Structure 1
Amino acid sequence: MASSPAATPAATHDMLRTRRSVPPIQLDGPGPSAEELDGWLAIAARVPDHGKLAPWRFLVIEGEARHRLGAIIADTHAKDFPDADEKRLDQERRRLAHAPLVVAIVSRAGPHIKIPEWEQVLSAGAVCMNFVVAANAAGYATAWLTEWFAYDRRVLDALGLEPSERIAGFIHVGRAREVPSDRPRPDLAQIVTRL
């Protein structure tokens, strides 16, 4: 069976070599179809997972949910900063509304008799990256972010997270209006040690 050009190692390497985050404010629709999204979620879940714990889960945030959760984020910010002006509150309100789709990866890492919690956390990070790569390979742009509200218990409660759960990332997905210029990347000579 012949593979498609997008599936060739050279095309995959080129995509990974040039992959670039795009700020959510520069992402537009249309977003992915339900079928595309389900495919990416399946790809994201195919990560190293010592013990087959699936120590992560997904929250799909699209449509009106982006605005409803944005209102919660803005209200939470206003409680902490009562002097915040309307411009700032509008920025908070729109945190999840720029891209047509946001997927939150929730880490369910916790104590286990055999599987270190650290390995479970790393697995959640791998889920985030698999999801980003799947979306990018399909021609969409992404931004993997957390922001302050990923660490605010009031917002996490509104998202339905259990007390032991944490946000590994909010992945914003859309079509890039423009791709920012690349940022400096690490010099391999500074980060590689050969033993």
Structure 2
Amino acid sequence: MSDALSLLQQRHSVPSRQLGEPVPDESTLRALLEAAIRVPDHGKLVPFRLIQMQGEAKLRFGERMTALVIRNKPELSDSKREKERLRYTFAPLVLVIVACIDEESSVPPIEQTLTAGCVAQNLLIGAYALGFGAQWLTGWAAYDREAAAVLGLASNEHVVGFMHLGTPQIDVPDRDRPALDDLLSTWTP
């Protein structure tokens, strides 16, 4: 079997709480990001962008998200408030993958969003190929317009995911995978 297929068959997510230092150095991260943006892109719209968060910025973002949650749910328990505050702090690097929808384009918005999703998938595969771990998470903040405003997103932009990156701190067992025979059918006229 080819190394490329083996890589795909072995890739798995590493929980953000299990990701630590080191992260890719600057040149390796740049190479990873340049590879990740090589995606199918109907109309060559480049309907995505990336936002990087490291260090203190991750905690500050979590604090801003916590303030939004508390404003909408003042009864939120202290433990859930703390969970929100720390949500983005475990992995040393968080990349926000943003879909930038060109609403004037004849390319359907779903195709543009899928292109941004391909960037996220390439980040997962690329991180694994380089010996790093990653987890693609969303959560409520990915779908909240006030959270989008905190990130500086325009009205035509939305978060596809928060990619948590670092080095796995433990061996993570693979999860059960679906059987291909349960998913594959053959269309006949």
TM-score normalised by structure 1 residue count: 0.90
Question: Within the alignment, does 1:76 sit opposite 2:68 as a pair?
Answer: yes
More moved, 64-73 vs 108-117: 108-117
Q: Structure 1 residues 113 and 84 mapped into 2: Cα distance closer, same or farther (>3 Å)?
A: closer
Residue type matched to 2:77 in 1? D
Match for residue 189 of structure 1 among 156, 181, 186:
181
**Which secondary structure does the structure 1 equivalent of 2:153 belong to?**
coil
Counterpart Cα distance in 1 of 2:64 and 2:130: 32
Match for residue 147 of structure 2 among 155, 160, 166:
155
2:21 corresponds in structure 1 to: 29
**Which secondary structure does the structure 2 equivalent of 1:193 belong to?**
coil
Q: CA deviation at 1:190?
A: 1.4
1:121 corresponds in structure 2 to: 113
Counterpart Cα distance in 2 of 1:80 and 1:180: 36
Residue type matched to 1:164 in 2? N
Q: Point out 4+ residue stretches in structure 1 off by more than 3 angstroms.
A: none
2:53 corresponds in structure 1 to: 61
1:139 corresponds in structure 2 to: 131
CA contact (8 A) 1:28 1:98 kept: yes
CA contact (8 A) 2:45 2:102 kept: no
Counterpart Cα distance in 2 of 1:75 and 1:112: 35
Q: CA deviation at 1:98?
A: 0.3
Structure 1: runs of 5 or more not aligned: 1-8
Structure 2: runs of 5 or more not aligned: none
**Cα deviations by residue, 1:50-97 (Å, 9 ceiling, x for unpaired):** 111100000011121111101101111111221223322111111111
Q: CA deviation at 1:179?
A: 3.4
2:6 corresponds in structure 1 to: 14
**Identity fraction in percent:** 37
Q: CA deviation at 1:116?
A: 1.9
Cα RMSD of the aligned pairs, angstroms, is 1.4
* Length, aligned pairs only: 187
Counterpart Cα distance in 2 of 1:17 and 1:144: 17
Question: Within the alignment, does 1:92 sit opposite 2:91 as a pair?
Answer: no
CA contact (8 A) 2:103 2:156 kept: no
**Cα deviations by residue, 1:23-70 (Å, 9 ceiling, x for unpaired):** 111111111111111111111111111111100000011121111101
Question: Within the alignment, does 1:164 sit opposite 2:156 as a pair?
Answer: yes
More moved, 157-166 vs 86-95: 86-95
Counterpart Cα distance in 1 of 2:148 and 2:55: 19
1:107 corresponds in structure 2 to: 99
Counterpart Cα distance in 1 of 2:38 and 2:89: 28
TM-score normalised by structure 2 residue count: 0.93
